[in-house]
Structure 1
Amino acid sequence: MHTHFGCERWHQAAAFALRYDVFVLEQGISLQDEFDELDTLERNYFVVYEQSLAVATIRYQKKNDDTVQPDRFCVRKEHRNQGIGRTLLLLLEDKATKEGFKFSILSAEKTALSFYQALDYSVNSEEYLEDGIICVEMIKKLSS
């Protein structure tokens, strides 16, 4: 497996295909909700590939000058519980830290709370519905 970071069209297409499989087909999120105005030509993604198959992805975006906002984070069903998601999120946090970000804030599905808590994220909001799924905002102070 190897990881690529960038905004090349082929790379974005791989991230989108995986997001379609996980979020639209598996979780029932509408196409219009999943693919939003933040999916621009210059938006960077991390994607983990097994040969040419995208097995995990996360969208890299800045929330503000101090905060990165990992988003659209998913792992292909048959590749879950192998540490791929953990490795990918830590890779994103490392890049964010090197770029001067102090915090990471994300929207976590309630079913994934323990995953994020194990990576030192803390709940930072009440529960809310996002695309029909119960979520909470979580925050982590990035180490410098």
Structure 2
Amino acid sequence: MSGTYTVRVAVEPADREACFAVRKDVFVAEQGVPEDIEYDAHDAGAVHVLAMGEDGIPLGTGRLLHGEAAAAKNGGDPAVGSLGRLAVTPGARGLGVGAALVRAIEEAARARGLTAVDLHAQTHALGFYERLGYEAYGPEFPDAGMPHRAMRRVL
């Protein structure tokens, strides 16, 4: 596959469906996350971003929670967004798609006046997020049966 892709906020229903399809492929099928916990009530109000290959094939997605939804995840700070559900399809890994999605989510956070972004990283992905300026804090904890750490980046 070539490395040409675009990243955009998923506004149209078809774009959001593509985001959910990537999540199903990566989290449900590949990682074994139960489908009933992969999709949640936060999806409706979240900002979803989508990476799309030049051939129209979805390559990756992520979401930004803000406001009350983010505050519930980050300890109550409404100025901090929550990055989550970052997923890149196996064939697109190593092309910079994940980093481009994170930067698009950060831009969406800045546009909403947020001062930082928190996330819960699978421990195998800590290095990826550290290279993007995130710092881990707090103890390791399980989420969907996998070890995670909380991380934050000030914008």
Q: Do they fold alike, i.e. is TM over 0.5?
A: yes
Identify the range of structure 1 (26-35 vs 45-54) with the bigger mean alpha-carbon deviation. 45-54
The residue that corresponds to 1:35 in the other structure is 39
The residue that corresponds to 2:118 in the other structure is 105
Structure 2 unmatched ranges of 5 or more: 72-77
The residue that corresponds to 1:96 in the other structure is 109
Greater helix share, structure number? 2
Identity of aligned residues (%): 27
Identify the range of structure 1 (90-99 vs 76-85) with the bigger mean alpha-carbon deviation. 90-99
2:95 to 66, 76, 82: 82
Identify the range of structure 1 (81-90 vs 26-35) with the bigger mean alpha-carbon deviation. 81-90
Give matches, 1:26-65, under 5 Å: 26-40=30-44, 42-50=45-53, 51-62=55-66, 63-64=70-71, 65=78
Residue 52 of structure 1, CA deviation: 2.2
Which secondary structure does the structure 2 equivalent of 1:28 belong to?
coil
Instruction: Check whether the contact 2:63–2:105 (CA below 8 A) recurs between aligned residues.
Output: no
CA distance in 2 between counterparts of 1:71 and 1:100 reads 18
CA distance in 2 between counterparts of 1:38 and 1:24 reads 18
Residue 99 of structure 1, CA deviation: 2.3
Residue 3 of structure 1 pairs with residue 17 of structure 2: no
Structure 1 unmatched ranges of 5 or more: none
Residue 86 of structure 1, CA deviation: 0.7
